[in-house]
Amino acid sequence: MRLSAFTVVDSGDPGSGGVADRYADVLSLAEAAEAGGLSALWVAEHHFQPGGICPSPPVLLAACGQRTRRLRLGVLVSVLPFHRPIELAEQYAMVDRLTGGRLNLGVGSGYIPLEFEGFGVDPESKRERFDRGLATLLAALDGEEVRSEEPRAKPVRINVLPVQRPHPPLWIAVQRREAIAYVARRGASLALVPYATVASLAELAEEIREFRSHLPEGARAEVAVAVHLYAGDRPDRARAALARYLEARLATQSTFYQEKVRRDPHHATAASIESSGFALFGAAASVAERLGEYAAIGVDEVLGIFDFGGLPASDVNDSVRRLGAALGAGRPALTR
């Protein structure tokens, strides 16, 4: 099992330095992740609200690519209903070229009402838009002739293709359990954010078993799971930051997390997320050992959310390096 870093690029503490500082923080996080031996850095796409201030992941990933040499760089996710797929294919093909074939491509259909309202997209149409968009995106990246949905558009082939063929590794993010079989049947890898959707590691394990049961024979799809992580001497800071982060997710109408809290208000607290095992805070050796629980239930990659709720960048980067060192080159705690 691999360990990576995942950032939603939330604006953090309202008293912090602002947008420019958060982008600088992500660049610093990329450097720390590479130095710590992590597998990848993933960034989320969000719009119009402080819960995520990266509206253009290709720009941020290209900048991270200039600060790193080995680290894989991923988007989780590119929200397909908000974009023209041919443009996305061009942008992500360029990122893969600029980074020497290090791009991971995660896609999703979106879930925050304000973002749909801002783009004028009917949420009821998002599944259909996602399916059409993904088909066009993958065909374009593979060098096939594709056509925009604009009435006067002519068939075209993009003139920059990715290094990785036929396209960069594909993940599809899922927050509705009924979508897991869909992802599996197409042979794509699965990304899950369990703090927002399930109540326990046991329930998460059920979802992973369900995914693998629907995979086509011979498919090599993987499961990536996002978990809040802090390895250091001040877990109290991490708990306070997680409380701020969860409040922000509710305030920005993070639909699936809101529904989880509505069903059981107990899940609105940082303490409940930590007790569920979806936030691991403490000494690096202890966190590394607990990560083995994810390997045991079939997770291929833990997406460590290290920077959340205004946690100082110095704490974030130190946490990444400490945990990387605790895991070591062989990563024995992550073996399954």
Given a contact cutoff of 8 angstroms between Cβ atoms, the answer to whether 249 and 257 are in contact is yes
Domain 2-334 is of which CATH architecture?
Alpha-Beta Barrel (3.20)
Looking up tokens 């720390």 gives 32
Query: What confidence score (pLDDT) does residue 265 get?
Result: 67
Catalogue the E-assigned strands of the chain: 2-7, 40-43, 72-79, 103-108, 170-174, 189-192, 223-231, 279-282, 301-305
**Largest CA-CA distance found in the chain, in angstroms, rounded:** 61
Delimit the domains of the chain by residue range: 2-334
Q: How confident is the model at residue 31 (pLDDT cuts 50, 70, 90)?
A: very high
Whether this prediction's pTM lies above 0.85 is answered by yes
Q: Is residue 220 pLDDT above 80, yes or no?
A: yes
pLDDT tens digits, 94-153:
999 999 999 999 999 999 999 999 999 999 999 999 999 999 999 999 999 999 988 899
Q: How far is CA 202 from the centre of its chain?
A: 22
Query: What confidence score (pLDDT) does residue 212 get?
Result: 97
Question: In a 3-state reduction of DSSP, which class is residue 104?
Answer: strand
Q: Is residue 71 pLDDT above 90, yes or no?
A: yes
